[in-house]
């Protein structure tokens, strides 16, 4: 397997669970008014980090 193929496989293998994590986080944020402020802050941080990781994966 070439390095390019390994990177492609890694990108794919990480993208799927990352997409699920981002989707679940965003679904929870839709009900933000029902969530305490500490949890809301944590969910927003998770969302921001997941978006950043997705961008990093696209660059490799």
| pTM listed for this prediction | 0.85
* Model pLDDT for residues 3-56, shown as the tens digit of each residue: 999 999 999 999 999 999 999 999 999 998 999 999 999 999 999 999 999 999
Place of tokens 């402020």: 37
C-alpha distances in Å from residue 31, one per residue of 16, 21, 40, 47, 59: 24, 16, 10, 14, 32
Outline where DSSP puts E strands in 1-60: none
Note whether 57 and 11 are within 8 A (CB): yes
Q: Of 47, 50, 60, 46, whose CA–CA distance to 11 is shortest?
A: 60
How many angstroms separate the CA atoms of 50 and 58, rounded?
12
């Amino acid at each position: 397997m070439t390095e390019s193929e390994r990177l492609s496989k890694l990108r794919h293998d990480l993208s799927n669970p990352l997409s699920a994590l981002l989707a679940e986080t965003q679904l929870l944020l839709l009900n933000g008014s029902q969530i305490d402020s500490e949890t809301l802050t944590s969910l927003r941080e998770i969302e921001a980090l997941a978006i950043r990781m997705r961008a990093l994966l696209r660059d490799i």
